[in-house]
Amino acid sequence: MSAPIPDTPESGTSGRSGGRDLHLRGARLFATPDLGETGAPVDVSIRSGRIEAVGANLPRPDPAVEILDAGGLTLIPGLVDVHVHFRDPGLEHIEGWDRGSLGALHGGVTSVVEVQNNPPLSVDGAALDARIAHVRQRSRVDFGCLGNLLPDSVPSLGEMAPRTPAFKLFMGGSTGVGGVTERGVMRDLFRAAALAGRRVVTHCEDEGLLREGRRAYPDATATEHHLVRSSEAEIESVRTAVELAAETGAGLHIFHLSTRGGVEIVRAARAAGQPLWASTAPHYLLLSCEDTAELGNFAKVNPSIKTRDDSAALLEALVDGTLDAIGTDHAPHPLESKRRDYSHAPSGIPSVDLLWPLTLELVRRGLLDAPTALASVTARAAESLGLHGKGALAPGFDADLVLFDPEEERPVVGAELPSTSRWSPYEGMGLAGFPRMVLRRGELVWRDGKSLADAGGELLALGPLTPAS
C-alpha cells in the first residue's frame, strides 16, 4: 500500500489542519486479509491524524496519548462516497452540507466527492474556490468538489484542475442539468479535460434515445421509468464516452453504471489497456425495475433501475474488477415532491446515510464477498478518482475509522435519517453495520447516533496532474 503524497498545493491539501494523536485499542478486523483474519483483535496508533501503526496488542506510544477503547467493535476504514449531490450552495432547503455531511457520518462515510448540478455551477476558478470555501465552513467530512465540464468552462479547466478530482460531464439530461448532444462538442470537452490533466466523469445516457423514450411512453408511470430511460440509452452513451476518451487521451470514470451492456463495454476497454474507471450505486444492486410497482417514484432515479439480470452483471463486475466502486449518487428531494405524479416528480434517491449498512447487506445476502464489498467503498473508491491517503488501514493513511457491531440489526426508518429528505426506498429493510463510532483524521466525530463535530472537513488530497500530450 503506497503512502500518501506530500501536502502540496497541487495535492489539494494546502492549509489542512491535520488531526490528533490517539491510540485505538480493542477493535476487531473486518475483511482485511493482509492484516489478519476477520474478527482478529487489532489496535491502531494514530499520530497527527494519520495512522502510524496497525496491529495486535500495540504498545501505547506515549503515556500522554489518549486511549479510545473500541470495546470489541469491528473496524473498517472510513468510507469514500465518490458521488453525492448536496445542492449547496443554491438549494440548501433540499439538501445542504450541514445535514448531508451529518448523513454521511451516519452511513460510515468520512470522505465525499460532490457534483454540483444546480447553479452556481463550477465553471471557473473563482466559482470553484467560492464553493470550496463555502463547503469547508459546513462539512463534517473531508470533501472534493467536481468541476463542471461545459463549453463555458473550457478556458478555465487549467486553473480548476489542481483543486478538483475530475470534471463532470452530463451526456444525458438529468435533474437540473441538460445533456450535451453533439459528438463534436463532446470530443472538444474530453480533449480539453485531457489537456488540463484531470479525468472526465460522465453521466452516460444518450440524449437522443432519452427523447425517443419520452415520445414512446407519453403517459408513462413509475413502473415504466426503465423503458423511458432505457438500457439502450445508457449503453450507447457508454460506447460513445469510451470512444471519445480513447480518441482524446482522456482518463474516464463512468458514474452509476446500471446495465449489463455497459459493463461489457467497460470490461473490453479496460482489457485493452484504456485508462478507465467505473462505479455503480446501491439501488442498482439491491433493487430492480420490478420493485417500482411497490416503490413508485421512490425508485425514480436517473439512470433508471433496470432488471435483476443487470444487477447480477454489476455484481460480477465488482468482483472481477471491471467496476471499481459503489457510490450512492445521493440525490435527496422533499417527500412532497416525490409524491407528485410521475411526470412531475424529480428523480433521485437519498442514501449516503446508509452506505455502509447497504454495502454490508450485499455481503449478508451472499451477493458480494466481504473484501470486495469493503474495497468498493474504501480503497478502490478512492483510487477511482485519484484521492490520496484515504480508504485503507495502513501507515501513512488518514486515520478515518468506522467501528460497528456486525450483529446489530435494525430497520430503516426514513423519517429518522439525518439527511434532509427524511424518506428512503429501503424503508423497513432490516440492516446491520450502523456505525457506533466514526473517527475523522483521529478525531472522534460520531458516537452512538450523535455527531460530535459541527464542521472540520478538509479538501481531499489529489494526485498530480497528468496532462495529455
- Residue 453 corresponds to which amino acid? A
What is the tens place of the pLDDT at every residue in 285-313?
999 999 999 999 999 999 999 999 999 99
Could you tell me if 454 and 6 are in contact, meaning their C-beta atoms sit under 8 angstroms apart? no
Domain end, chosen from 355, 374, 394, is at: 394
Q: Which three cell numbers stand for residue 386?
A: 485519484
With respect to residue 467, please indicate whether it lies within any of the assigned structural domains.
Answer: no
Where does the pLDDT of residue 11 fall: very low under 50, low under 70, confident under 90, or very high at 90 and above?
A: very low
Would you mind telling me the total number of residues written for the chain in this entry?
469
Please compute Rg for the chain using Cα positions.
21
pLDDT of residue 255: 97
106 and 72 within one domain: no
What is the tens place of the pLDDT at every residue in 186-199?
999 999 999 999 99
Q: Which three cell numbers stand for residue 190?
A: 474530453
With respect to residue 4, please indicate whether it lies within any of the assigned structural domains.
Answer: no
Task: Provide the domain limits for residue 281.
Answer: 77-394
141 and 21 within one domain: no
Q: Is the pLDDT of residue 361 over 70?
A: yes
Q: Name beta bridge partners: 113.
A: 144
Where does the pLDDT of residue 118 fall: very low under 50, low under 70, confident under 90, or very high at 90 and above?
A: confident
With respect to residue 250, please indicate whether it lies within any of the assigned structural domains.
Answer: yes
With respect to residue 2, please indicate whether it lies within any of the assigned structural domains.
Answer: no
Distances (CA, A) of 84 to 81, 159, 277, 330: 7, 23, 17, 5
Where does the pLDDT of residue 15 fall: very low under 50, low under 70, confident under 90, or very high at 90 and above?
A: very low
Where does the pLDDT of residue 179 fall: very low under 50, low under 70, confident under 90, or very high at 90 and above?
A: low
pLDDT of residue 401: 98
353 φ, ψ (degrees, to nearest 5): -60, -20
92 and 31 within one domain: no
Higher pLDDT, 92 or 287: 287
CATH number assigned to the domain comprising residue 431: 2.30.40.10
Counting residues of the chain whose pLDDT is more than 90, the rounded percentage is 87
With respect to residue 243, please indicate whether it lies within any of the assigned structural domains.
Answer: yes
pLDDT of residue 6: 33
Number of domains in the chain: 2
CATH number assigned to the domain comprising residue 194: 3.20.20.140
147 and 84 within one domain: yes
Where does the pLDDT of residue 125 fall: very low under 50, low under 70, confident under 90, or very high at 90 and above?
A: very high
53 and 98 within one domain: no
Could you tell me if 201 and 255 are in contact, meaning their C-beta atoms sit under 8 angstroms apart? yes
What is the tens place of the pLDDT at every residue in 144-154?
999 999 999 99
120 and 37 within one domain: no
Residue 402 CA to its chain's centroid (Å): 17
Residues 358, 361: Cα–Cα separation, whole Å: 5
Residues 126, 452: Cα–Cα separation, whole Å: 32
**Average of per-residue pLDDT across 411-427:** 95
pLDDT of residue 178: 56
Q: Is the pLDDT of residue 449 over 50?
A: yes
383 and 440 within one domain: no
Q: Which three cell numbers stand for residue 138?
A: 459546513
45 and 192 within one domain: no
Where does the pLDDT of residue 172 fall: very low under 50, low under 70, confident under 90, or very high at 90 and above?
A: low
What is the tens place of the pLDDT at every residue in 34-56?
999 999 999 999 999 999 999 99
142 and 62 within one domain: no
Domain end, chosen from 358, 378, 394, is at: 394
Active site residues: 329
**Average of per-residue pLDDT across 211-226:** 97
With respect to residue 208, please indicate whether it lies within any of the assigned structural domains.
Answer: yes
445 and 366 within one domain: no
Could you tell me if 233 and 259 are in contact, meaning their C-beta atoms sit under 8 angstroms apart? no
Counting residues of the chain whose pLDDT is more than 70, the rounded percentage is 94
With respect to residue 56, please indicate whether it lies within any of the assigned structural domains.
Answer: yes
161 and 56 within one domain: no
Higher pLDDT, 90 or 296: 296
412 and 355 within one domain: no
With respect to residue 218, please indicate whether it lies within any of the assigned structural domains.
Answer: yes
Where does the pLDDT of residue 107 fall: very low under 50, low under 70, confident under 90, or very high at 90 and above?
A: very high
